[in-house]
Structure 1
Amino acid sequence: MAHPSVRAESTGTVVVAGLANLAVAVAKLVAGVISGSAAMLSEAAHSAADTTTEALLFLALRRGARPADVRHPFGYGKESYVWAFLAALFTFVAGAGFAVTHGITTILVHEHTGDYLSSYVVLAVAFVAESVSLARARRQVRGEARRWRTTPRRFLRLTPDTTVKAVVLEDSAALVGLLLAAAGLGLSQLTGDELYDGLASVLIGVLLLVVAGTLAHSNVTLLVGRAVPERLHHEIERELAALPAVERVDTLLTMQLGPVDILVAAKVDFDDDASGADIESTADAAERRLTGRYPEIRYVFLDPSPSVPGADGRHARHTQVDPPPDGEP
C-alpha cells in the first residue's frame, strides 16, 4: 500500500515548514521590535500563526493515521480534517486579525519606524527559508501529480491531503507577504510616511484571510464527505464495468475517508445467468483490481440488487460527480 510513504512525506513537509516558520517568526519579531515597523510585526504574527498551524497539521497527520477499531471501523482519517480546519481558523484569527488591526492602527497613529536595515536583513533571510520550505512542498505535489497522471495545479486543487495544500498555500502567501512588507518599508523610508507600512500590514492580513478561507472550505467539504474527483470516479466505473458477469454499474458512490483512504460502494447489475459463485468471484476481483491500481482505495462494497426502475419503466442510472464548487468541468 502506498499511503504509509505518502503520510511520511507529508509529515516531513509539515515538520520542515514548521521549523522554518519558527526560526523566521523569532527573527521577524526581533526586527519588528527594533524597527517599530507594523509590516514587520504583522509578518512576525504571520510566521507565528504559521508555526502554530504546522503544529496543528502535524497533530492532524498523527491523529488521522490511527488504525480502525470497533468504534471507528473506517478509521480516523476524517479527524485530520478537524485539526486542519482548526489550523485554518487560527490563521484567520491570530494571523489575519493581528495584521489588519495593527496595520489600521499604524495608518491612524503614524508611528515612526526606527531602524530599517535589520528589517531588510530579516526579510531576505526569511525569503530564503520560506523558499526552501515551499520547494519541498512543491516537490511532493509534483510527485503526487505524476502518480495520479494530472497537473500539479489540478492535484493541489482537488487533493484530499489538506496538510500539503496548507503548506503550499501558506508558504506561497508568506513569500508574497515578505514582498509586501519590503515594499511597505521601502516606500515609508523613501517618503517618510508610515502610511505605506500600515497599508502593507493590512494587505498581509487580507492575504491571510484568503488563505484561511480557502483551507477552511477545503476541510469542511471533506468533513461533510466529498467524493473522489470526477475523472477518478469514471475510471473506477470503467474498471467495475469491465469485470466478467457485470452488465452495467447502476450506482457508484465514493467518499474520501481521509487523506489517503477512499471508500467505494456500487450497485451492480450482473448478467441474468450469473450464479452466486460468479457474483462472489467478481466481487473479489473488483476489490483486487481497484486496490491494486489505486492503493488509496481501502473499502470496496458491491451490491448485486436489481436497479430501481425509473419513471419510464427502465432501469434508472445514478452516478455521482463532483459538485460545481470544486471546479470540475
Structure 2
Amino acid sequence: MGGKSGESLGTVLVAGAANLAIALAKLIAGLIGGSAAMLSEAAHSAADTVTELLLLVAVRRSGRSADRRHPFGHGKSGFVWAMMAAVATLVGGAGFSVTHGLHEISHGEELSNLTPSYVVLAAAFVIEGVSFLKALSQLRREARRHDVNPLRLVRVTSDTALKAVLFEDAAALVGLLIAAGGLLASQLTGSALWDGVASVTIGLLLLVAALILIGSNLSLLIDQAAPEGMEAGIRAVLLEQPEVADVVELLTMVIGPGAVLVAAKIDFWDEAGAAGLEIACDEVDRRLRDRFPEVEQVFLDPTPTRR
C-alpha cells in the first residue's frame, strides 16, 4: 500500500500547489474586474487548496502502520479526513459562490476591466488540466492493474484522495468554462446578470461534487464491502481450493484506501483432516493475497454445511 500512497501523495501535492497559485491569480483578477464569477472561482480554488491540505493529512494518516490499539491499521482515518475535505469544498466553495452570485444578480454590480480575468482563466485552465491529467494517468494505471474500466474504478475505488482530486479538478475545469461564458455574456449584453448566474452555477457544480464525495466517504466509514467483482473473484479462489466443499458465508470490508479484509465461513471436505485443513487455509490465504493485492487480512472459519 506504500507505493499507492506515495503516488496519491504526489497527485495531491501537484493539485494543491496548482490551486494555491490559481486562487491568488483569480482573486486579483476578480477584484480588478469586479466579477462575481471570478471571485467565486477564487473561493473555489481557495477551498480546493484547503481540501488538498486535508487530503495530505488523509494520505499520511491512512498510511500509518498497525499497532496494538489499531490492529487493522489506520486506513479509515483517511476516510475521515477526506470527508472533512469534501465538507470544506461544500462550505467554502459552494456556499460562497452561490451567495455571492445571488448578491450580484439582485444588486447588479458594474464590471470593469475583464482582460486580466480572461488571461487568468486561460492560465488556470492549463494548470488545472495538468493536475487533472496526472490524476487521470494514475487512475488509468490502476484500472489496467485491476483490469477494469477507469470510469467503473473511479466509482468503486477506496482511494479517496485520488477520487477527490479527480472530481475537484474536473469541477474546476468545467467551472472555468462557466466563468468565461458568464464574463463573455455580461460583456456582450452589458448586464452583470450573466456573471452572477455563472457564479451561482459554479456553486451548484461544487455542491454536487462535494455531496458525491461526502456520500462516498461516509459509505466507506460504515464498513463498505469490497466491489462485487472482487467479491466474486474471492469466492472463486476459495472454491478452487480442492479441500473446500462450499463457501457458507463470505464477508468483506474496506479497512482503508486500497485495503480489504476478508472473512469467510468455509465447509471443508471431511477427508481433508486437521493437518490438511491447516495447509488448505494457508494456501487460500497466499492465493488471495497474490491475486488481490488489496487483501490485507484473511480470516477463515471452518463451518460445516447441512448436507
Over the aligned positions, Cα root-mean-square deviation in angstroms equals 0.8
**2:53 paired residue among 52, 55, 60:** 55
**2:233 paired residue among 230, 235, 238:** 235
**1:5 paired residue among 3, 6, 11:** 3
Whole-Å Cα distance in 1 between the matches of residues 24 and 38 of structure 2? 11
Please give the residue correspondences for 1:200-215 in structure 2 after superposition, counting only pairs within 5 Å: 200-215=198-213
**1:216 paired residue among 189, 214, 219:** 214
Letter of the 1:22 partner, please give it: L
Partner of 1:24: 22
Instruction: Answer whether contact 2:248 2:303 (CA < 8 A) is retained.
Output: no
**1:45 paired residue among 43, 46, 68:** 43
Partner of 2:139: 141
SS at match of 1:264: strand
More helix by share: 2
- 1:216-239 C-alpha deviation (Å, 9 max, x unpaired): 000000000111111110110010
Partner of 1:186: 184
**1:264 paired residue among 237, 262, 265:** 262
The answer to whether structure 1 residue 108 and structure 2 residue 106 are counterparts is yes
The answer to whether structure 1 residue 99 and structure 2 residue 121 are counterparts is no
Per the TM alignment, residue 28 of structure 1 is displaced from its structure 2 partner at its CA by 0.2
Letter of the 2:253 partner, please give it: M
Partner of 1:252: 250
- 1:295-319 C-alpha deviation (Å, 9 max, x unpaired): 2111111000224xxxxxx56xxxx
Partner of 2:175: 177
Unaligned runs of at least 5 residues, structure 2: none
- 1:65-109 C-alpha deviation (Å, 9 max, x unpaired): 111011110000000000000001110011000000000000000
TM-score of the superposed pair, with normalisation by structure 2: 0.99
The answer to whether structure 1 residue 282 and structure 2 residue 280 are counterparts is yes
SS at match of 2:271: coil
Letter of the 2:266 partner, please give it: V
Whole-Å Cα distance in 1 between the matches of residues 91 and 304 of structure 2? 52
Per the TM alignment, residue 240 of structure 1 is displaced from its structure 2 partner at its CA by 0.7
Partner of 1:320: none
Per the TM alignment, residue 125 of structure 1 is displaced from its structure 2 partner at its CA by 0.3
SS at match of 1:274: helix
Letter of the 1:142 partner, please give it: R
Whole-Å Cα distance in 1 between the matches of residues 94 and 126 of structure 2? 23
Letter of the 1:10 partner, please give it: S
TM-score of the superposed pair, with normalisation by structure 1: 0.92
SS at match of 1:115: coil
- 1:11-37 C-alpha deviation (Å, 9 max, x unpaired): 000000000000000000000111110
Whole-Å Cα distance in 1 between the matches of residues 159 and 35 of structure 2? 36
Unaligned runs of at least 5 residues, structure 1: 308-313, 316-329
Determine what percentage of the aligned residue pairs are the same residue: 56
